[in-house]
């Protein structure tokens, strides 16, 4: 396959054409330097054969402190050295990402004003940055040079300039953020000076150092930003200064959610603009395709079609660190899929403080987690009750450890709720394929009881959750459907009439049903905005755009008090959380997308997942592994 063929980068050669790109991990320490966790995280991908590893971006100047544990280049020499040494042992090239977030940063940690080309308020915080004086600009340019010398002296094979989504360099390139009247009205001047400073510093350390450029080629703001039509000329001019590779990305201050979108966005969204960049650059400049490239087939196609020379597959390697190795061994069917849920791979708040993956929770925890697959010294006969994600993962890991496993599932299909709601279907499909490959016995349509035990020595209960108790009054004759039953097909919505969706959680399940129903849906939320919890994945604003486009009516700040029957229809009585005002909503059907409760415990079993406490796929997978390892 083309993906695992060597790639010429400048005067160097990468062992293959797969990149693990820079991203926020929060694995750093309080001194803003790289930690042993960083080393383990990157080495894990190198062990599996990743060709090019670009380390988390480091701020080149103290004026930039975009998040609490953001690395600061002046403190990263030892960390870069440790990462480079660890990854070089396995043949990977190691690139240091050099960064400055400019006006898209944060002053919360530095307590100093943000630096930016112009006084354009930061979109999320509304903070107005400081207009960079000439001496500020010089200081940052010198910072890029100093960081280059440090990174290369530490053993890195090159540096990558961030002119992408969250970048001061891009802010100078763009009419959205560069409104200067001095010499920097030439919007490419700052980028040219940064490249020249880096090239000069690189030559002073090692002649074969690589210089890469991560370039936003579509700011998704055509009224003033960089457009796909403009990008080829920008790329060509900057690459003439000695750039060895370009990573084609998109996004700007007005499109943060588009920089790494979730499953609502098609994969490969940068293919067209990447093709145009590849067509204007000389062959000596390698072009990397980026943008939800999680499927090996699409990546291979892009290289074969001349869209790019190589691909960045970052989320795919968070989901499966062994991706490259499995490609090399022609084991593509065994690659754990990235479902692009963005639930834990994006570090956003205290609930997901460290990068990881719902399907591969050891990502980001390489130094803490045990070897889940160590062979058992005493193989057991194991029965797993329930074939949701937790049950399937328990069976998979237990089988890999050498146990004899049987799954008992009362329904006619595996996967539980994840099989028919949310983005988890690819993960369920992969788990099923692994269960088949490992020859785990699956008994569907069978209720577990004592006769199901056979000669089992261990029984693990993974029966998931059940409908919760309504916190509102349900009148005589009124019917409230549970969303799981609707999704499963056990309950059918009427073909006409309004459908009220009760969503006290603010998660993706209620929102997705409302989106599908469009103008027929009334989404009742206790929050000021629909899908409040979608902020964790970056889908909050896009989801509300989709709901508006579909004509969904949103009943905000509302607590459900009663559901009553009125003739052939239903009435939902809601109360405003702030004013106490009562409102009646009429509809043809009511669907509850609220909280669920654990299923009843089965005596003598080990309980895991939602039957302990209803949570997410991440906890289901993690508890499944712990149970399988404990056998």
Measured at the CA of 257, the angle between CA 512 and CA 596, to 5 degrees, comes to 35
Asked if residues 614 and 593 have their Cβ atoms less than 8 Å apart, the reply is no
**What are the DSSP calls for 301-314, one per residue?**
HHHHTTS-SEEE-H
- Confidence (pLDDT) at 352: 67
Asked if residues 129 and 103 have their Cβ atoms less than 8 Å apart, the reply is yes
d(CA 165, CA 57): 12
- Confidence (pLDDT) at 125: 84
Coil, helix or strand at residue 349: coil
Q: Residue ranges of the chain with pLDDT lower than 70?
A: 348-352, 450-452
Residue linked to tokens 């006084």 = 119
Two tokens at 425? 């279907």
Residue 274: CA count within 13 A, CB half-sphere: 29
Measured at the CA of 268, the angle between CA 265 and CA 272, to 5 degrees, comes to 115
Asked if residues 30 and 44 have their Cβ atoms less than 8 Å apart, the reply is no
Q: Domains (ranges, CATH) in the chain?
A: 2-334 (3.20.20.70), 381-464+602-630 (3.40.50.720), 469-594 (3.50.50.60)
**Which residue from 55, 83, 67 is spatially nearest to 30, judged by alpha carbons?**
67
3-state secondary structure 16-64: CCEEECCCCCCCCCCCCCCCHHHHHHHHHHHHCCCCEEEEEEEECCCCC
**Which residue from 218, 227, 352, 345 is spatially nearest to 290, judged by alpha carbons?**
218
Q: How many CB atoms lie within 10 A of CB 381?
A: 15
- Confidence (pLDDT) at 436: 98
- Could you tell me where the DSSP H helices lie in 159-250? 168-173, 189-205, 231-239
The proportion of the chain whose per-residue pLDDT surpasses 70, expressed as a percent, equals: 99
Asked if residues 509 and 483 have their Cβ atoms less than 8 Å apart, the reply is yes
pTM, two decimal places: 0.95
Asked if residues 285 and 244 have their Cβ atoms less than 8 Å apart, the reply is yes
The string over 79-113, giving b where at least 16 C-beta atoms fall within 10 Å of a residue's C-beta and e elsewhere, is bbbbbbebbbebebbbbbbbbbbbbbbbbeeeeee
Q: How many CB atoms lie within 10 A of CB 395?
A: 30
d(CA 376, CA 524): 50
Measured at the CA of 582, the angle between CA 511 and CA 555, to 5 degrees, comes to 20
- Confidence (pLDDT) at 350: 64
Two tokens at 482? 């549970």
Residue linked to tokens 């607590």 = 559
CA distances (Å), 255 to each of 65, 104, 120, 164, 214, in order? 21, 12, 15, 12, 17
d(CA 614, CA 616): 7
- Could you tell me where the DSSP H helices lie in 122-270? 134-153, 168-173, 189-205, 231-239
d(CA 541, CA 151): 38
**Which residue from 170, 628, 251, 592 is spatially nearest to 434, judged by alpha carbons?**
628
- Confidence (pLDDT) at 320: 98
Sign of CA dihedral 589, 595, 599, 600: negative
Asked if residues 278 and 223 have their Cβ atoms less than 8 Å apart, the reply is no
């Amino acid at each position: 396959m083309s993906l695992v063929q060597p790639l010429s980068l400048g005067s160097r050669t990468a062992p293959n054409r797969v990149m693990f790109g820079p991203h926020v991990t929060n694995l750093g320490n309080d001194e803003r330097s790289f930690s042993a966790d960083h080393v383990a995280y990157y080495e894990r991908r190198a062990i599996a054969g990743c060709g090019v590893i670009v380390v988390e971006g480091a701020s080149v100047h103290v004026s930039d402190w975009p998040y609490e544990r953001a690395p600061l280049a002046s403190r990263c020499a030892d960390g870069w050295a440790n990462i480079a040494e660890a990854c070089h042992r396995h043949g990977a090239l190691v690139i240091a990402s050099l960064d400055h977030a400019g006006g898209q940063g944060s002053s919360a940690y530095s307590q100093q004003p943000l630096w930016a080309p112009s006084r354009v308020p930061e979109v999320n915080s509304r903070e107005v940055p400081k207009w960079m004086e000439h001496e500020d600009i010089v200081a940052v340019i010198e910072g890029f040079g100093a960081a280059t010398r440090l990174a290369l002296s530490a053993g890195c094979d090159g540096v990558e300039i961030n002119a992408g989504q969250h970048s001061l360099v891009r802010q100078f390139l763009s009419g959205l953020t560069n409104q200067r009247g001095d010499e920097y009205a030439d919007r490419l001047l700052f980028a040219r000076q940064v490249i020249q400073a880096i090239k000069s510093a690189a030559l002073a350390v090692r002649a074969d150092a690589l210089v890469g450029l991560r370039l936003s080629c579509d700011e998704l703001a055509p009224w003033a930003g960089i457009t796909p039509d403009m990008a080829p000329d920008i790329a060509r001019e900057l690459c003439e200064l000695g750039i060895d590779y370009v990573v084609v990305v998109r996004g700007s201050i007005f499109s943060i959610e588009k920089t790494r979108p979730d499953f609502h966005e098609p994969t490969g969204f940068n293919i067209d603009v990447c093709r145009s960049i590849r067509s204007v650059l000389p062959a000596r400049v390698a072009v990397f395709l980026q943008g939800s490239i999680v499927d090996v087939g699409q990546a291979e196609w892009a290289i074969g079609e001349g869209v790019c020379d190589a691909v960045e597959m970052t989320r795919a390697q968070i989901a499966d660190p062994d991706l490259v190795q499995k490609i090399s061994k022609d084991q593509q069917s065994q690659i754990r899929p990235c479902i692009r849920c963005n639930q834990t791979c994006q570090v956003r708040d205290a609930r997901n403080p460290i990068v990881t993956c719902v399907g591969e929770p050891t990502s980001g925890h390489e130094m803490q987690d045990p070897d889940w697959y160590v062979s058992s010294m005493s193989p057991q006969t194991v029965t797993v009750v329930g074939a949701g994600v937790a049950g399937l993962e328990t069976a998979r890991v237990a089988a890999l450890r050498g146990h004899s496993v049987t799954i008992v599932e009362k329904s006619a299909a595996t996967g539980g709720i994840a099989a028919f709601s949310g983005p988890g279907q690819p993960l369920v499909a992969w788990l099923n394929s692994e269960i088949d490959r490992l020859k785990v016995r699956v008994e569907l349509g069978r209720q577990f009881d004592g006769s199901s035990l056979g000669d089992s020595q261990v029984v693990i209960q993974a029966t998931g959750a059940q409908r919760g108790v309504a916190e509102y009054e349900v009148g005589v004759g009124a019917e409230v459907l549970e969303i799981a039953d609707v999704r499963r097909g056990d309950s059918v919505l009427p073909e006409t009439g309004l459908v009220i969706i009760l969503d006290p959680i603010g998660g993706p399940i209620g929102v997705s049903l409302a989106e599908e129903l469009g103008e027929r849906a009334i989404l009742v939320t206790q929050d000021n905005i629909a899908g409040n919890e979608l902020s964790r994945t970056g889908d909050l604003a896009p989801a509300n755009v989709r709901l508006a486009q579909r004509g969904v009516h949103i009943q905000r700040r509302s607590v459900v008090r009663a559901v009553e029957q009125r003739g052939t229809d239903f009435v939902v009585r809601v109360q405003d959380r702030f004013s106490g005002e009562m409102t009646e909503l009429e509809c043809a059907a009511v669907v509850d997308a609220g909280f669920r409760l654990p299923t009843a415990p089965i005596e003598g079993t080990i309980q895991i997942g939602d039957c302990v406490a209803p949570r997410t796929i991440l906890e289901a997978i993690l508890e499944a592994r712990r149970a399988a390892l404990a056998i």
